[in-house]
């Protein structure tokens, strides 16, 4: 299968390398030339794509606004499957399905990454055992959806789940975007500058994603702002309950709050 990956950052280059390792012919496309040269030098791609001509599948690994523009204006071959890895989906589906397209669209979201970015952080094994979300809409063609599922298997993903764009965006507001907002807010404490020697695993877990690209993540937050605002409000309310219990010196209330969170955690891991 001939595959073009447009956008050779950590996710796009990792996907290209994984699919090439699985035996597919993979060409890379990027807005700047250096990542293409790097990908060629490190065997992540078979060559550079200057267009989408002849592609069976195109993966767009681009920031949200660029992804939207490419989905609307890209010169894709008739019958080609186009899939994006963007972290929001409702806004993209509105554009794609606003008119007839010559291509077949399937949105996906690899639930994997690192706190670092760029092609130097990419790896053919990044997705091994990771979760992959496949987004199905009423207009999604079954054969295209199954092709992308098989490519997900080829790339090494473990659990693959399917959902609507609405459910995707609602869940990602909690599992990804809120985590990034909290990490960013957490490290703004003045005490952070003096915390060397005082940190352990909990601090590292809380701060790992704080330094992500502010340009990309600002776009993601804004495209999904309703769901994200709702999760921030819920968290603020919960933190307020802790603050009130602490202010009152209410030991029983603090224990109850801790126990409730502990039970929620246990239920989650029982399912997983």
Q: Which domains does the chain have, with CATH numbers?
A: 2-163 (3.40.50.720), 168-271 (1.10.3660.10)
The structure's pTM equals 0.92
- Alpha carbon dihedral 217, 176, 19, 116, in 10-degree steps, equals 60
Q: Give mean pLDDT, residues 99-125.
A: 91
Report residue 131: phi and psi, to 5°: -80, 145
Q: Give mean pLDDT, residues 205-233.
A: 95
What are the Cα distances from residue 251, in Å, to 64, 237, 239, 248?
A: 46, 19, 16, 9
Dump pLDDT digits (tens) for 56-82.
999 999 999 999 999 999 999 999 999
Contact present, 78 and 25 (Cβ < 8 Å): no
Q: Picking from 93-97, 147-151, 213-217, 239-243, which range would have the lowest pLDDT averaged per residue? A: 213-217
Looking at the predicted structure, is the pLDDT value of residue 256 above 70?
yes
Q: What burial class does residue 80 get, using C-beta atoms within 10 Å of its C-beta: 0-12 exposed, 13-18 middle, 19+ buried?
A: buried
Q: Give mean pLDDT, residues 120-148.
A: 96
The Cα 186–Cα 114 span in angstroms is 19
Report residue 172: phi and psi, to 5°: -70, -30
The Cα 213–Cα 264 span in angstroms is 31
Looking at the predicted structure, is the pLDDT value of residue 272 above 70?
no
pLDDT of residue 100: 96
pLDDT of residue 245: 98
Listed residue (205, 30, 216, 38) closest to 122, CA to CA: 38
DSSP letter for 164, please.
Answer: -
Higher pLDDT, 115 or 132: 132
pLDDT of residue 242: 98
Dump pLDDT digits (tens) for 171-200.
999 999 999 999 999 999 999 999 999 999
């Amino acid at each position: 299968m001939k595959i073009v990956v447009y956008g050779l950052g950590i996710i796009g280059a990792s996907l290209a390398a994984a699919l090439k390792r699985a035996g597919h012919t993979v060409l890379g496309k990027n807005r700047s030339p250096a990542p293409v040269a790097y990908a060629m030098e490190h065997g992540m791609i078979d060559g550079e794509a200057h267009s989408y001509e002849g592609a069976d599948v195109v993966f767009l690994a681009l920031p949200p606004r660029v992804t939207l523009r490419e989905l609307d204006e890209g010169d894709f071959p008739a019958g080609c499957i186009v899939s994006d890895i963007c972290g929001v989906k409702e806004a993209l589906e509105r554009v794609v399905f606003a008119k007839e397209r010559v291509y077949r669209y399937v949105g996906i979201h690899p639930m994997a990454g690192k706190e670092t970015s760029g092609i130097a952080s990419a790896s053919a094994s990044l997705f091994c055992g990771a979760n992959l979300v496949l987004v199905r809409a009423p207009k999604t063609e079954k054969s295209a959806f199954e092709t992308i599922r098989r490519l997900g298997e080829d790339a090494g993903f473990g659990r693959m789940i399917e959902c609507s764009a609405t459910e995707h965006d609602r869940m990602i507001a909690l599992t990804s975007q809120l985590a990034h907002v909290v990490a960013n807010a957490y490290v703004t404490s003045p005490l952070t500058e003096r915390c060397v020697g005082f940190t352990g695993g909990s601090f590292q877990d809380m701060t790992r994603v704080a330094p992500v690209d502010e340009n990309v993540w600002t776009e993601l937050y804004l495209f999904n702002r309703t769901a994200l605002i709702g999760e921030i409000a819920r968290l603020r309310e919960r933190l307020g309950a802790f603050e009130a219990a602490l202010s009152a010196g209410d030991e029983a209330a603090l224990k109850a709050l801790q126990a409730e969170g502990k039970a929620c955690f246990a239920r989650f891991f029982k399912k997983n």
